[in-house]
Structure 1
Amino acid sequence: MWLRWISLSSAALLLQACALPTTTETIPLPFQALGNEPGWSVVISPDHQATITLDYGEQQLDLLLPPAQVTYAGTHYRAEYQDQPFALDIIFNTCSDTMSDTSYPYETRLEILGKQYQGCGRPAP
């Protein structure tokens, strides 16, 4: 009987330790996501307007972002752009730019116009 009580108590403690946090961090605005090969960036203004630059500046797109989905892992935007999925994930994980060896406080992933990009992020300068 005693062992059963210990195992149930231990299980309850483990479940509490594995529970997702109830508080979430939000990204600072304005915010900049950027990456290499090919060069790209997204700048999010305080009014949630995104300026997206792709292919080393050859394409520039503007998109009003929907409300963000904030989770324990980061901030996520989902929408459609030109009838295709748009996704921007800003993940609370440090990131290193492999070309400049610069360290950033966020990891970023962008999906737009059928292409996927990975990079880093920071409060916009």
Structure 2
Amino acid sequence: MKFALASLSLLLVACQPSPPPAVAPAAPAPPAAEAPSVKRAPGQENVDPLQVFRAFGTEPFWGVNVEGTRLTYTTPDDQAGVVMEGTRKTLADGVEISGQHDGKPFVLTVGSGTCSDGMSDNTYSLVATFRFGEIDYTGCGEAAKL
């Protein structure tokens, strides 16, 4: 009888599910690089729309976010972007921001005009050109979202 009870106890212990192995918590994923936002800060609702805006184009894809005289130039290969500081010049129907970054001259010109990005049915109220070094880009622009 003692042998039977001991055997039964061993069988019950053997049938118990073993606890799952301890798993180390996964390391948090690094934050994704994001291009700076082109939204107006609170209290900036009445600021000239060409103080905070974006210019962009396709073939090749490019973008420039503008805040005053600071430009952030982005491409699909560099979504974090390159930050540049320029000199602002008011034009009859827009603005030009020019300067130099890492020995390369840049000029962004944005003016009034109807523009299509060529990829969607969207139309924009600004026409943009951007020259960085020896590369010329053309595209559209829009004031920052409120």
Provide the TM-score with structure 1 as the length reference.
0.69
Pairing partner for 1:48 from 66, 69, 76 = 69
Structure 2 residue aligned with 1:85: 105
Structure 2 residue aligned with 1:118: 138
User: Which moved further from structure 2: 83-92 or 103-112?
Assistant: 83-92
- Check the 8 A contact 1:111/1:117 in 2, yes or no: yes
Structure 2 residue aligned with 1:37: 59
Structure 1: stretches of 5+ with no match in the other structure: 1-25
CA deviation map 1:28-84 (0-9, x unaligned): 332010111111111112x43211102x24362001222x21121321112122222
Structure 2 residue aligned with 1:6: none
Structure 1 residue aligned with 2:120: 100
- Check the 8 A contact 1:77/1:87 in 2, yes or no: yes
Percentage of matched positions with identical amino acids: 28
Structure 2 residue aligned with 1:65: 86
Q: 1:89 to 1:27 in 2, by over 3 A?
A: farther
Please tell me whether Structure 1 or Structure 2 has the larger radius of gyration of its CA atoms.
2
Output the aligned Cα RMSD.
1.7
Equivalent pairs, count? 97
CA deviation map 1:1-36 (0-9, x unaligned): xxxxxxxxxxxxxxxxxxxxxxxxx64332010111
Structure 2: stretches of 5+ with no match in the other structure: 1-47
User: Which moved further from structure 2: 71-80 or 89-98?
Assistant: 71-80
- Check the 8 A contact 2:69/2:86 in 1, yes or no: yes
The residue type equivalent to 1:61 in the other structure is V
* Separation of aligned partners in 2, 1:76 and 1:39: 21
